[in-house]
Amino acid sequence: MRAVFLILFASALMAGDDVPAWVREAAAQQTPTYPAKVAKVTLLDDASLTIQTDGRQISHERVAVKMLQHTRDVPTAVCFYNPKTGKVREFQAWLLPPSGKPTTFGKNAVVDQSLSNSYEYEEERARSIEPGGNLEPGTVFAWEIVDEEKTPFPDDQHSFQGADPVLTSRYALTLPAGWVASATLFNHATLPPAVSGTTYTWELRNLPWIEPEAHSPAMHSLAPRLGVNYYPEDPATPAARPVKNWHDLSVWAAGFFDPPAAVTDAIRAKSAELTAGAATELDKIRAIAAFVQKTNYMAVAINMARGGGYQPHAADQVLARHYGDCKDKATLMRALLKAAGIESYPVVIYASDRQFVRPEWPSPNQFNHAIIAVRISPETKLPSVIDHPKLGRLLIFDPTSQVTPVGNLPEDEQGSYALVIAGRDGDLVAMPVLPANLNRIESAAEGQLKPDGSLVAQLRRQYFGQSASYLRHMALFGQHDELKRTFEESLSDRLGGLSLDRIEPTDRMADDQFGLNMDVTVKQFGHMLQGRLLMVAPGALARGSYRFPAKPRTAPVRLNAAQFQDSVNIAVPAQFKVDELPDPVKVTGDYGSFSAKWKAEGGKILFEQSIELKDTIAPAADYAKVRAFFDQVDSARNSSVVLVRQ
């Protein structure tokens, strides 16, 4: 198969001198010296978008990348498109080696690939040209793409760089006569555009390398990016829907979301069936939520040319087929609630990063997920409730998450901005951030240390809120063996050879708790020295924590609120007594607090540890402080109690 692929590829390549002047000009530039890890630099990233009065967007992109070192991380020219709403008009690429003939990549070199392997009906596709491996330093790979997209959204977003450094990054927006644009630049100082006629141009130069670092915000929160809205200056022009604020967007989106949530006989009957035994408003919500959570998830996008990403299926269709995507589930839940006399609103949000949505740019392009806000009475009290000035008390709930009960919210959605779609009353609101103690993990270990250093122990862990999500998912989907393997591996990493003799999960999802009881035998928990000293680190039975390397930091450190409480109680063998205990530790910092203490009491070693992390983004300048905090946590975890033979 590979040979066939390559033979086809061969016909797509042409050696020639038809390299455009802009590529040669870009390639002629000198590049500064970068850190040793930087393998390539973008010489030019020149993007332009031309808006037609009928809503079509013509996008034109020119990019030139220079290889600085040999690397497997070679650049790829990629163009994303949706065949239902757009087409790629031109796609060409060129490879200029430091010496020898340049290569032109023709259309047969283009790989056209579906982006959705597991979702049904999704039509997102990508076209790409790869220059191949083993590119010599000094090689320039350049490409030019012209594509057309018909979209109902009169806005656009543009990222000025990825991780690689960039010499020149430009974005130009050309509007029809009589149209105007407003823009917001994120992750960068204010930069007014150069305006010429109806063309607005933003240009950034010498953008530095963004090193991937653990616990850093996502790339789209670090790299400069632009959000633009455009619309006819004259409001009477019927060419496009102006989106000037979040209310406008709410009104527009309600047109998609509300009709499919209509209550039909089938919906009414199902709602009545589900809530038959429900005594309170909360009971009804929980019964309906549980049913919708069990509806199979499947991505289903229809009617893309008219904003199909915002078009749910009718609730009774979702009910009948028993599957749907996030907006389908939200719609089904709304209809079932409505039939039960409870009002609710769809909410659109960005699913995997709470920092992504920016309030200063009203745009539907900021969202990729739909959840629900349920209007509740004062009697219903739950942590994931917000007070909306016009809509009242709203219970925020994600029916797509099968592991998050009513009253909680997936971690990456907490604190994110989200659009509550409620006509003129709709608005962008901040999602609730649940306090750390609601997502805490309590751990208790009770063990018997043997004279040879081995340990038999029972570990009991109680996971609250979002800390339970991962384990609940495993338990819910019957992955008991996987659960056992996961703990065997993580405990072995800290404790060495062991046997996990029993693992018993207990899920109390309605109470937002997940319990885990484990019996373990650790071969060498205590390290015997000279046959008379036994060193034990009780903290090794506690949960692990973060570790940060000793190196300069460029990105902020992102920490989510968390709370861990550990207690360890180890019976000492009769032949030994405690000779040394570590000193208690208490640290309070800007980002959290930590305390640990060790006691010897009644032939036992008692260890207690408490960690609380605040929901924080620490600036890179404070990295040393963050590191010092977690180093102390790690050090305490590894601190040993010295037992001596008596």
- Which residues ranging from 242 to 261 are in contact with other proteins (CB under 8 A)? none
Q: Tell which positions 7-46 bind other proteins, by CB under 8 A.
A: 7-13, 36-37, 39
Interface size with other proteins, residues (CB under 8 A): 88
3-state helix, strand, coil in the chain (%, to 5): 25, 40, 40
Angstrom distance (rounded) from CA 549 to CA 540: 20
Near other proteins by CB under 8 A: residue from 76, 159, 458, 479: 479
Task: Please name the residue that has the structure tokens 């949706």.
Answer: 82
Taking residues 396 to 425 in sequence order and writing x for each that binds other proteins by CB under 8 A, - otherwise, the string is ------x-----------------------
Angstrom distance (rounded) from CA 358 to CA 417: 7
To the nearest whole angstrom, how small is the minimum distance from the Cβ of residue 100 to other proteins?
10
To the nearest whole angstrom, how small is the minimum distance from the Cβ of residue 623 to other proteins?
13
Smaller CB separation from other proteins, 176 or 573: 573
Taking residues 134 to 173 in sequence order and writing x for each that binds other proteins by CB under 8 A, - otherwise, the string is xx-x------------------------------------
Stretch that binds other proteins, among 162-170, 225-233, 544-552, 608-616 (CB under 8 A): 544-552
Angstrom distance (rounded) from CA 443 to CA 634: 17
To the nearest whole angstrom, how small is the minimum distance from the Cβ of residue 642 to other proteins?
6
Near other proteins by CB under 8 A: residue from 58, 500, 571, 587: 500
Q: Tell which positions 73-92 bind other proteins, by CB under 8 A.
A: none
Q: Is 642 in the site for other proteins (CB under 8 A)?
A: yes
Q: Is 609 in the site for other proteins (CB under 8 A)?
A: no
Near other proteins by CB under 8 A: residue from 50, 58, 84, 130: 130
Nearest CA-CA partner of 152 in 233, 54, 235, 59: 54
Q: Is 519 in the site for other proteins (CB under 8 A)?
A: no
Q: Tell which positions 319-378 bind other proteins, by CB under 8 A.
A: 320-323
Instruction: Order across the sheet with 417-420: list the strands.
Output: 385-388, 392-397, 369-375, 344-349, 417-420, 427-430
Q: Is 278 in the site for other proteins (CB under 8 A)?
A: no
In sequence order, the 6+-apart residues with CB closer than 8 A to the CB of 481 are none
Buried b (16+ CB within 10 A) or exposed e, 462-497: bbbbbbbbebbebbeeeeeeebbeebbeebeebbee
Smaller CB separation from other proteins, 85 or 563: 85
Tokens of 270: 């199902």
Tokens of 346: 């769809």
Nearest CA-CA partner of 45 in 22, 73, 69: 22
Q: Are 375 and 342 in contact (CB under 8 A)?
A: yes
Q: Is 266 in the site for other proteins (CB under 8 A)?
A: no
To the nearest whole angstrom, how small is the minimum distance from the Cβ of residue 523 to other proteins?
6
Tokens of 595: 């305390």
Near other proteins by CB under 8 A: residue from 233, 511, 580, 590: 580
- Please report the DSSP string for 110-163 in residue order: -EEEES-SSSSS---EEEEE---S-PPTT-EEEEEEEEEEE-S--EEEEES-SS
Stretch that binds other proteins, among 3-11, 159-167, 202-210, 235-243 (CB under 8 A): 3-11
Q: Are 641 and 540 in contact (CB under 8 A)?
A: no
Smaller CB separation from other proteins, 107 or 381: 107
Stretch that binds other proteins, among 65-73, 260-268, 423-431, 560-568 (CB under 8 A): 65-73
Q: Is 458 in the site for other proteins (CB under 8 A)?
A: no
To the nearest whole angstrom, how small is the minimum distance from the Cβ of residue 323 to other proteins?
6
Residue 604: phi, psi to the nearest 5?
-130, 155
Angstrom distance (rounded) from CA 302 to CA 14: 40
Tokens of 192: 């007014």
Near other proteins by CB under 8 A: residue from 492, 517, 593, 595: 492
Q: Tell which positions 170-229 bind other proteins, by CB under 8 A.
A: none
Smaller CB separation from other proteins, 36 or 276: 36
Q: Are 66 and 31 in contact (CB under 8 A)?
A: yes
Q: Is 273 in the site for other proteins (CB under 8 A)?
A: no
Q: Tell which positions 610-639 bind other proteins, by CB under 8 A.
A: 631, 635, 638-639
To the nearest whole angstrom, how small is the minimum distance from the Cβ of residue 316 to other proteins?
13
Which burial class, exposed, middle or buried, applies to 13 when counting CB atoms under 10 A from its CB (0-12, 13-18, 19+)? Answer: middle
Amino acid code (one letter) for 572: V
Angstrom distance (rounded) from CA 81 to CA 147: 8
Stretch that binds other proteins, among 182-190, 215-223, 472-480, 615-623 (CB under 8 A): 472-480
Near other proteins by CB under 8 A: residue from 87, 90, 121, 506: 121
